[in-house]
Structure 1
Amino acid sequence: MTLKIFGKLTDIFKNSQYDLDTENINNVSDLKNLLYEKFPALKELTFLIVVNGVKAEDEQSISGDAEIALLPPYSGG
């Protein structure tokens, strides 16, 4: 699974993409827990997880071919 990383989150990942083993990931909550384990600095930040172009809630399932993006909060008008 490849994550697309945006905004200030690229500072943590050191890249705009990150490849992740999907073996233990069934839903968004599993993904968050794995990311928090690998990148503890994420716990201090607010970010959205978008799955296939839609903001995802923790219980949403994730398939191995899903398009996943991590987005920092946005503002504008």
Structure 2
Amino acid sequence: MRAAVEKARTNVTLSVDTLAAARELGLNVSAISDAALAKAVSEARAARWALENAEAIAERKAWIEANGMPLADVQVMKID
């Protein structure tokens, strides 16, 4: 059984033609909007994390370029 997800009402503005086509096709506009918004939130969080951690990522990359991958000599599966 799926856990109940709390929902909130909101207003969105959609193109008349797109909304009419979605209704004609029997698409669930709310579910599609929720999924698209969830994806956008996930992508925005990932982008923000990358920006906030850009300095550390650059430092780690520079360290690897200078010193090689840690434990590369004992790596079982080599990826070229």
If the length of structure 2 is used for normalisation, what is the TM-score? 0.20
Relative to total residues, which structure has the larger helix share, 1 or 2? Answer: 2
If the length of structure 1 is used for normalisation, what is the TM-score? 0.20
Relative to total residues, which structure has the larger strand share, 1 or 2? Answer: 1
**Which structure is richer in relative contact order (CA contacts within 8 A, separation 6 or more)?**
1
